Amino acid sequence: MHPSERIRFEKSEILKGKKIAMAITGSIAAVEAVKIARELIRHGADVYPYATPDALRFIGKDSLEFATGHDVIVELTGNVEHLQDLDLVLVAPATADIISKAACGIADDSVSTLILANIEKCVFVPAMNERMYENPFFLSNLEKIRNVAYVIEGESSEEEIKIPDREEIAAHVMHILGEKLRNRKILVIGGAGYEKIDDFRIITNLSTGKTAIEIAKHAYYLGGDVTLLMGLSKIGIPSYIRHDIFSNVKSLISLVKNIVSERYDAIIVPAALPDFSPERKEGKIEFEEFEKVKWRKTPKFLEELRKEFDGILVAFKAETKIGVNDLIKEARKIMEKYNLNFVVANLLEDVKENTSRVFIVDDEDFTEISGSKEYIAQRIVERVADEI
Protein backbone atom coordinates (compact mmCIF):
# COMPACT_ATOMS: atom_id res chain seq x y z
CA MET A 1 0.00 0.00 0.00
CA HIS A 2 1.32 3.44 -0.94
CA PRO A 3 1.64 5.80 2.07
CA SER A 4 -0.96 8.15 0.53
CA GLU A 5 -3.58 5.42 0.88
CA ARG A 6 -3.21 5.40 4.65
CA ILE A 7 -4.72 8.88 4.93
CA ARG A 8 -7.44 8.51 2.31
CA PHE A 9 -10.91 9.22 3.77
CA GLU A 10 -9.32 10.32 7.06
CA LYS A 11 -11.62 13.36 7.12
CA SER A 12 -14.49 12.48 4.78
CA GLU A 13 -15.53 10.70 1.58
CA ILE A 14 -16.78 13.89 -0.07
CA LEU A 15 -14.16 13.67 -2.86
CA LYS A 16 -14.37 9.90 -3.24
CA GLY A 17 -13.86 8.91 -6.89
CA LYS A 18 -12.80 12.44 -7.91
CA LYS A 19 -9.69 12.76 -10.09
CA ILE A 20 -7.90 16.05 -9.47
CA ALA A 21 -4.82 17.27 -11.32
CA MET A 22 -2.68 19.51 -9.15
CA ALA A 23 -0.68 21.89 -11.32
CA ILE A 24 2.29 23.42 -9.49
CA THR A 25 4.15 26.43 -10.85
CA GLY A 26 7.32 28.37 -10.01
CA SER A 27 6.54 30.18 -6.77
CA ILE A 28 7.98 29.74 -3.30
CA ALA A 29 4.40 28.82 -2.34
CA ALA A 30 5.03 25.54 -4.20
CA VAL A 31 6.41 24.24 -0.90
CA GLU A 32 2.77 24.02 0.29
CA ALA A 33 1.82 21.61 -2.52
CA VAL A 34 2.40 18.45 -0.48
CA LYS A 35 0.13 19.65 2.32
CA ILE A 36 -2.60 20.68 -0.13
CA ALA A 37 -2.45 17.40 -2.03
CA ARG A 38 -2.68 15.34 1.14
CA GLU A 39 -5.59 17.40 2.44
CA LEU A 40 -7.50 16.56 -0.74
CA ILE A 41 -6.62 12.89 -0.31
CA ARG A 42 -7.94 12.98 3.27
CA HIS A 43 -11.32 13.82 1.75
CA GLY A 44 -10.99 10.94 -0.73
CA ALA A 45 -9.58 12.56 -3.90
CA ASP A 46 -7.10 10.91 -6.27
CA VAL A 47 -4.48 13.62 -6.93
CA TYR A 48 -2.21 13.68 -10.01
CA PRO A 49 0.75 16.11 -9.82
CA TYR A 50 1.86 18.23 -12.79
CA ALA A 51 4.76 20.65 -12.39
CA THR A 52 6.65 23.21 -14.40
CA PRO A 53 10.47 23.00 -14.40
CA ASP A 54 10.56 26.19 -12.31
CA ALA A 55 8.25 24.62 -9.72
CA LEU A 56 10.80 21.84 -9.20
CA ARG A 57 13.32 24.46 -8.06
CA PHE A 58 11.17 24.83 -4.93
CA ILE A 59 9.80 21.33 -4.39
CA GLY A 60 11.19 17.92 -5.30
CA LYS A 61 9.57 15.28 -7.49
CA ASP A 62 10.07 12.68 -4.77
CA SER A 63 8.03 14.78 -2.33
CA LEU A 64 5.13 15.07 -4.76
CA GLU A 65 5.24 11.39 -5.63
CA PHE A 66 5.26 10.47 -1.94
CA ALA A 67 2.34 12.85 -1.26
CA THR A 68 0.11 11.63 -4.08
CA GLY A 69 1.20 8.12 -5.08
CA HIS A 70 1.55 9.22 -8.71
CA ASP A 71 4.50 10.16 -10.95
CA VAL A 72 4.99 13.88 -11.51
CA ILE A 73 4.16 14.99 -15.05
CA VAL A 74 6.81 17.49 -16.15
CA GLU A 75 6.87 16.73 -19.87
CA LEU A 76 4.05 15.51 -22.08
CA THR A 77 4.50 12.21 -23.89
CA GLY A 78 2.60 10.03 -26.30
CA ASN A 79 0.32 9.16 -23.38
CA VAL A 80 -1.33 12.61 -23.89
CA GLU A 81 -1.37 13.26 -20.14
CA HIS A 82 -3.09 16.62 -20.66
CA LEU A 83 -6.17 14.90 -22.08
CA GLN A 84 -6.86 12.39 -19.32
CA ASP A 85 -10.36 12.37 -17.83
CA LEU A 86 -10.28 14.76 -14.87
CA ASP A 87 -12.90 16.27 -12.57
CA LEU A 88 -10.86 19.38 -11.70
CA VAL A 89 -7.48 21.02 -12.29
CA LEU A 90 -6.14 22.85 -9.25
CA VAL A 91 -3.43 25.36 -10.19
CA ALA A 92 -1.76 26.02 -6.84
CA PRO A 93 0.26 28.10 -6.63
CA ALA A 94 -0.69 30.01 -9.79
CA THR A 95 1.96 32.50 -10.80
CA ALA A 96 1.40 35.64 -12.87
CA ASP A 97 3.09 33.79 -15.72
CA ILE A 98 0.75 30.80 -15.79
CA ILE A 99 -2.37 32.94 -15.32
CA SER A 100 -1.35 35.20 -18.21
CA LYS A 101 -0.52 32.21 -20.40
CA ALA A 102 -3.90 30.67 -19.65
CA ALA A 103 -5.70 33.95 -20.40
CA CYS A 104 -3.96 34.18 -23.77
CA GLY A 105 -4.34 30.51 -24.70
CA ILE A 106 -0.61 29.78 -24.63
CA ALA A 107 0.47 26.16 -24.13
CA ASP A 108 4.23 25.60 -24.06
CA ASP A 109 4.78 23.07 -21.25
CA SER A 110 2.90 20.29 -19.44
CA VAL A 111 1.04 22.61 -17.06
CA SER A 112 -0.05 25.29 -19.54
CA THR A 113 -1.12 22.59 -22.02
CA LEU A 114 -3.12 20.82 -19.28
CA ILE A 115 -4.84 24.13 -18.49
CA LEU A 116 -5.60 24.90 -22.14
CA ALA A 117 -7.27 21.52 -22.57
CA ASN A 118 -9.31 21.85 -19.33
CA ILE A 119 -9.83 25.57 -18.78
CA GLU A 120 -13.45 25.29 -17.55
CA LYS A 121 -12.38 22.72 -14.95
CA CYS A 122 -9.56 24.90 -13.64
CA VAL A 123 -9.26 26.47 -10.21
CA PHE A 124 -6.47 29.06 -9.86
CA VAL A 125 -4.86 30.05 -6.54
CA PRO A 126 -2.75 33.16 -7.28
CA ALA A 127 0.57 33.71 -5.49
CA MET A 128 2.93 36.58 -6.31
CA ASN A 129 4.31 39.93 -5.23
CA GLU A 130 1.65 42.63 -4.82
CA ARG A 131 3.34 44.87 -7.41
CA MET A 132 2.97 42.11 -9.97
CA TYR A 133 -0.61 41.44 -8.92
CA GLU A 134 -1.56 45.10 -9.28
CA ASN A 135 -0.13 45.41 -12.80
CA PRO A 136 -3.08 46.43 -15.03
CA PHE A 137 -2.13 43.96 -17.76
CA PHE A 138 -2.08 41.12 -15.24
CA LEU A 139 -5.41 42.20 -13.71
CA SER A 140 -6.92 42.19 -17.19
CA ASN A 141 -5.69 38.63 -17.69
CA LEU A 142 -6.99 37.58 -14.27
CA GLU A 143 -10.42 38.96 -15.15
CA LYS A 144 -10.43 36.87 -18.33
CA ILE A 145 -9.72 33.80 -16.19
CA ARG A 146 -12.54 34.67 -13.78
CA ASN A 147 -14.96 34.67 -16.71
CA VAL A 148 -14.27 31.01 -17.53
CA ALA A 149 -12.71 29.43 -14.43
CA TYR A 150 -12.70 29.67 -10.63
CA VAL A 151 -10.24 31.82 -8.70
CA ILE A 152 -9.55 31.29 -4.98
CA GLU A 153 -8.52 34.68 -3.67
CA GLY A 154 -5.31 34.86 -1.67
CA GLU A 155 -4.46 37.06 1.28
CA SER A 156 -2.34 40.20 1.12
CA SER A 157 0.49 40.01 3.65
CA GLU A 158 4.05 41.36 3.74
CA GLU A 159 3.58 42.86 0.25
CA GLU A 160 2.76 39.43 -1.12
CA ILE A 161 -0.41 37.73 -2.31
CA LYS A 162 -0.25 34.48 -0.37
CA ILE A 163 -2.27 31.35 -0.95
CA PRO A 164 -4.86 30.37 1.69
CA ASP A 165 -4.23 27.43 3.99
CA ARG A 166 -4.82 23.88 2.79
CA GLU A 167 -8.15 23.50 4.62
CA GLU A 168 -9.61 26.53 2.84
CA ILE A 169 -8.36 25.41 -0.57
CA ALA A 170 -9.84 21.94 0.00
CA ALA A 171 -13.13 23.54 1.09
CA HIS A 172 -13.36 25.45 -2.20
CA VAL A 173 -12.54 22.32 -4.20
CA MET A 174 -15.27 20.33 -2.44
CA HIS A 175 -17.74 23.19 -2.93
CA ILE A 176 -17.03 23.37 -6.65
CA LEU A 177 -17.45 19.62 -7.09
CA GLY A 178 -20.31 19.27 -4.58
CA GLU A 179 -23.66 18.26 -6.05
CA LYS A 180 -25.96 17.31 -3.16
CA LEU A 181 -26.74 20.94 -2.28
CA ARG A 182 -25.92 22.57 -5.62
CA ASN A 183 -28.17 25.64 -6.19
CA ARG A 184 -29.66 25.23 -2.69
CA LYS A 185 -29.68 28.10 -0.22
CA ILE A 186 -28.94 27.07 3.35
CA LEU A 187 -29.10 29.23 6.49
CA VAL A 188 -27.43 28.05 9.69
CA ILE A 189 -28.22 29.92 12.92
CA GLY A 190 -25.83 29.09 15.75
CA GLY A 191 -23.78 30.18 18.71
CA ALA A 192 -25.04 31.48 22.04
CA GLY A 193 -27.72 34.12 22.29
CA TYR A 194 -27.45 36.48 25.24
CA GLU A 195 -29.56 38.93 27.21
CA LYS A 196 -28.19 42.01 29.01
CA ILE A 197 -28.63 42.38 32.76
CA ASP A 198 -27.04 45.83 32.87
CA ASP A 199 -24.48 47.74 30.81
CA PHE A 200 -21.69 45.39 31.97
CA ARG A 201 -23.20 41.93 32.37
CA ILE A 202 -25.11 39.41 30.31
CA ILE A 203 -26.82 36.07 30.79
CA THR A 204 -25.87 33.44 28.24
CA ASN A 205 -24.84 29.76 28.10
CA LEU A 206 -21.85 27.51 27.45
CA SER A 207 -22.38 26.99 23.70
CA THR A 208 -19.12 27.33 21.76
CA GLY A 209 -20.74 27.63 18.32
CA LYS A 210 -18.59 24.78 16.96
CA THR A 211 -21.53 22.64 15.83
CA ALA A 212 -23.07 25.49 13.82
CA ILE A 213 -19.77 26.30 12.14
CA GLU A 214 -19.16 22.65 11.24
CA ILE A 215 -22.68 22.37 9.81
CA ALA A 216 -22.13 25.52 7.72
CA LYS A 217 -18.79 24.16 6.48
CA HIS A 218 -20.23 20.81 5.44
CA ALA A 219 -23.20 22.45 3.71
CA TYR A 220 -20.64 24.50 1.77
CA TYR A 221 -18.61 21.37 0.98
CA LEU A 222 -21.69 19.79 -0.60
CA GLY A 223 -22.10 22.75 -2.95
CA GLY A 224 -24.62 24.79 -0.96
CA ASP A 225 -25.05 28.56 -1.02
CA VAL A 226 -24.50 28.97 2.72
CA THR A 227 -25.09 31.81 5.16
CA LEU A 228 -24.21 31.58 8.86
CA LEU A 229 -26.00 33.77 11.40
CA MET A 230 -24.00 33.65 14.60
CA GLY A 231 -24.39 34.65 18.24
CA LEU A 232 -21.52 34.45 20.70
CA SER A 233 -18.89 31.94 19.64
CA LYS A 234 -15.47 30.74 20.78
CA ILE A 235 -14.60 29.35 17.35
CA GLY A 236 -13.31 31.30 14.36
CA ILE A 237 -15.53 31.37 11.28
CA PRO A 238 -13.81 30.37 8.01
CA SER A 239 -13.45 33.24 5.55
CA TYR A 240 -15.29 31.32 2.82
CA ILE A 241 -18.50 31.18 4.90
CA ARG A 242 -20.71 34.23 4.46
CA HIS A 243 -21.83 35.28 7.93
CA ASP A 244 -23.52 37.89 10.09
CA ILE A 245 -24.21 38.21 13.82
CA PHE A 246 -27.15 38.46 16.19
CA SER A 247 -27.27 39.25 19.90
CA ASN A 248 -30.47 38.39 21.75
CA VAL A 249 -33.70 36.62 20.86
CA LYS A 250 -35.43 39.90 20.07
CA SER A 251 -32.75 40.86 17.56
CA LEU A 252 -33.06 37.44 15.94
CA ILE A 253 -36.83 37.68 15.65
CA SER A 254 -36.44 41.12 14.06
CA LEU A 255 -34.57 39.40 11.20
CA VAL A 256 -37.37 36.95 10.35
CA LYS A 257 -38.81 39.04 7.51
CA ASN A 258 -35.35 39.40 5.95
CA ILE A 259 -34.66 35.70 6.40
CA VAL A 260 -37.89 34.74 4.66
CA SER A 261 -37.22 37.15 1.80
CA GLU A 262 -33.97 35.28 1.01
CA ARG A 263 -36.00 32.16 0.08
CA TYR A 264 -33.78 29.62 1.81
CA ASP A 265 -34.37 25.98 0.96
CA ALA A 266 -33.48 24.92 4.50
CA ILE A 267 -32.80 26.59 7.84
CA ILE A 268 -30.82 24.71 10.50
CA VAL A 269 -30.93 26.14 14.04
CA PRO A 270 -28.36 24.76 16.50
CA ALA A 271 -28.32 28.15 18.28
CA ALA A 272 -28.55 28.06 22.08
CA LEU A 273 -31.08 30.79 22.84
CA PRO A 274 -32.00 31.98 26.36
CA ASP A 275 -35.47 30.92 27.56
CA PHE A 276 -35.71 33.93 29.87
CA SER A 277 -34.28 37.41 30.13
CA PRO A 278 -33.80 39.97 32.91
CA GLU A 279 -35.43 43.33 33.13
CA ARG A 280 -32.41 45.32 32.07
CA LYS A 281 -31.02 48.00 34.36
CA GLU A 282 -29.09 51.05 33.21
CA GLY A 283 -25.49 51.43 34.31
CA LYS A 284 -23.95 48.87 36.66
CA ILE A 285 -26.11 47.30 39.34
CA GLU A 286 -24.63 46.40 42.72
CA PHE A 287 -24.61 42.95 44.28
CA GLU A 288 -27.46 43.76 46.64
CA GLU A 289 -29.71 44.65 43.71
CA PHE A 290 -29.31 41.30 41.89
CA GLU A 291 -31.99 39.60 43.95
CA LYS A 292 -34.42 42.31 42.86
CA VAL A 293 -33.89 41.66 39.13
CA LYS A 294 -37.16 40.61 37.51
CA TRP A 295 -37.20 37.85 34.91
CA ARG A 296 -39.52 37.15 32.02
CA LYS A 297 -39.85 34.48 29.38
CA THR A 298 -38.34 35.30 26.01
CA PRO A 299 -40.47 34.84 22.88
CA LYS A 300 -39.80 31.64 20.94
CA PHE A 301 -37.78 32.29 17.80
CA LEU A 302 -38.76 29.01 16.16
CA GLU A 303 -42.42 29.84 16.59
CA GLU A 304 -42.02 33.25 14.97
CA LEU A 305 -39.87 31.83 12.16
CA ARG A 306 -42.28 29.01 11.34
CA LYS A 307 -45.15 31.46 11.01
CA GLU A 308 -43.37 32.98 8.01
CA PHE A 309 -41.08 30.23 6.68
CA ASP A 310 -42.52 27.13 5.00
CA GLY A 311 -39.26 25.45 3.92
CA ILE A 312 -37.23 22.75 5.64
CA LEU A 313 -36.65 23.69 9.28
CA VAL A 314 -34.39 21.76 11.65
CA ALA A 315 -33.94 22.53 15.35
CA PHE A 316 -31.87 21.18 18.23
CA LYS A 317 -32.99 20.03 21.67
CA ALA A 318 -30.59 19.61 24.59
CA GLU A 319 -31.55 18.05 27.92
CA THR A 320 -29.72 16.72 30.96
CA LYS A 321 -30.18 13.97 33.53
CA ILE A 322 -32.95 12.15 31.66
CA GLY A 323 -33.01 8.89 29.73
CA VAL A 324 -32.82 8.53 25.97
CA ASN A 325 -36.51 7.64 25.66
CA ASP A 326 -37.51 10.81 27.48
CA LEU A 327 -35.11 12.82 25.32
CA ILE A 328 -36.77 11.46 22.18
CA LYS A 329 -40.20 12.36 23.59
CA GLU A 330 -39.09 15.92 24.30
CA ALA A 331 -37.65 16.22 20.80
CA ARG A 332 -40.93 15.09 19.25
CA LYS A 333 -42.85 17.61 21.35
CA ILE A 334 -40.97 20.56 19.86
CA MET A 335 -41.07 18.93 16.44
CA GLU A 336 -44.85 18.88 16.57
CA LYS A 337 -45.13 22.29 18.22
CA TYR A 338 -43.08 24.09 15.57
CA ASN A 339 -43.82 21.81 12.60
CA LEU A 340 -40.16 20.84 12.19
CA ASN A 341 -38.81 18.40 9.62
CA PHE A 342 -36.63 16.75 12.24
CA VAL A 343 -34.88 17.51 15.54
CA VAL A 344 -31.29 16.88 16.58
CA ALA A 345 -31.42 15.94 20.27
CA ASN A 346 -28.63 15.38 22.74
CA LEU A 347 -27.82 15.03 26.43
CA LEU A 348 -25.35 17.50 27.89
CA GLU A 349 -23.58 14.62 29.59
CA ASP A 350 -22.55 13.33 26.14
CA VAL A 351 -20.99 16.60 24.98
CA LYS A 352 -17.20 16.75 25.11
CA GLU A 353 -14.78 19.29 23.65
CA ASN A 354 -14.48 17.59 20.25
CA THR A 355 -16.94 14.70 20.36
CA SER A 356 -20.59 14.16 21.12
CA ARG A 357 -23.58 11.87 20.73
CA VAL A 358 -26.82 13.03 19.12
CA PHE A 359 -30.11 11.56 18.00
CA ILE A 360 -31.73 12.64 14.74
CA VAL A 361 -35.42 12.39 15.56
CA ASP A 362 -38.39 12.49 13.21
CA ASP A 363 -42.04 11.55 13.81
CA GLU A 364 -41.46 7.87 13.00
CA ASP A 365 -37.96 6.93 14.11
CA PHE A 366 -34.62 8.19 15.38
CA THR A 367 -30.96 7.62 14.47
CA GLU A 368 -28.12 7.69 16.98
CA ILE A 369 -24.85 9.27 15.81
CA SER A 370 -21.65 9.35 17.85
CA GLY A 371 -18.21 10.66 16.99
CA SER A 372 -16.42 13.90 16.25
CA LYS A 373 -18.47 17.05 15.92
CA GLU A 374 -17.27 17.28 12.32
CA TYR A 375 -18.66 13.82 11.58
CA ILE A 376 -21.95 14.58 13.30
CA ALA A 377 -22.30 17.84 11.36
CA GLN A 378 -21.69 15.98 8.10
CA ARG A 379 -24.42 13.44 8.90
CA ILE A 380 -26.88 16.22 9.80
CA VAL A 381 -26.18 18.06 6.55
CA GLU A 382 -26.54 14.87 4.52
CA ARG A 383 -29.94 14.30 6.16
CA VAL A 384 -30.98 17.85 5.22
CA ALA A 385 -29.83 17.21 1.63
CA ASP A 386 -32.00 14.08 1.57
CA GLU A 387 -35.00 16.09 2.80
CA ILE A 388 -34.54 18.66 0.03
Three-state DSSP at 34 gives helix
**Helix 373-387 vs helix 210-221: angle between axes, to the nearest 10 degrees?**
50
Q: Looking at the structure, do residues 217 and 127 belong to the same domain, yes or no?
A: no
Residue 3 has a pLDDT of: 84
Q: Looking at the structure, do residues 163 and 21 belong to the same domain, yes or no?
A: yes
> CATH number for the domain including 282?
3.40.50.10300
As a whole number of angstroms, the distance between CA 380 and CA 270 comes to: 11
Residue 124 has a pLDDT of: 98
Q: Looking at the structure, do residues 171 and 189 belong to the same domain, yes or no?
A: no
Query: What predicted TM-score, i.e. pTM, was given to this entire model?
Result: 0.93
As a whole number of angstroms, the distance between CA 99 and CA 117 comes to: 14
Of the candidates 216, 228, 117, the residue with the CA atom closest to the CA atom of residue 171: 216
Residue 361 has a pLDDT of: 96
Residues 6 or more apart from 290 whose CB is under 8 A from it? none
Q: Looking at the structure, do residues 190 and 136 belong to the same domain, yes or no?
A: no
Q: Looking at the structure, do residues 265 and 158 belong to the same domain, yes or no?
A: no
Residue 296 has a pLDDT of: 84
Q: Looking at the structure, do residues 222 and 149 belong to the same domain, yes or no?
A: no
Per-residue pLDDT tens digits for 96-130: 999 999 999 999 999 999 999 999 999 999 999 99
Q: 163 with 365: CB under 8 angstroms? A: no
Query: Domain residues for 264?
Result: 185-387
Q: In what order do the strands lie in the sheet containing 150-151?
A: 46-51, 19-24, 88-94, 122-126, 150-151
Q: Looking at the structure, do residues 163 and 30 belong to the same domain, yes or no?
A: yes
Instruction: Say if residue 155's pLDDT is above 90.
Output: no
Structurally, the chain folds into a number of domains equal to 2
Q: Residue 334's CB: how many other CB atoms inside 10 A? A: 17
Q: Looking at the structure, do residues 101 and 207 belong to the same domain, yes or no?
A: no
Instruction: Say if residue 289's pLDDT is above 80.
Output: no
Per-residue pLDDT tens digits for 200-243: 888 777 788 899 999 999 999 999 999 999 998 888 999 999 99
Q: Looking at the structure, do residues 109 and 165 belong to the same domain, yes or no?
A: yes
Domain's final residue, options 155, 177, 199: 177
Per-residue pLDDT tens digits for 294-341: 888 888 999 999 999 999 999 999 999 999 999 999 999 999 999 999
> CATH number for the domain including 51?
3.40.50.1950
Q: Looking at the structure, do residues 233 and 305 belong to the same domain, yes or no?
A: yes
Higher pLDDT, 1 or 85: 85
Domain's final residue, options 177, 211, 233: 177
Per-residue pLDDT tens digits for 131-151: 999 999 999 999 999 999 999
Domain's final residue, options 157, 177, 197: 177
Higher pLDDT, 376 or 291: 376
Question: Beta strand pairing status for 366-372 and 355-361?
Answer: antiparallel
Q: Looking at the structure, do residues 369 and 221 belong to the same domain, yes or no?
A: yes
Q: Looking at the structure, do residues 140 and 19 belong to the same domain, yes or no?
A: yes
Residue 140 has a pLDDT of: 97
As a whole number, mean pLDDT of residues 240-260 equals 92
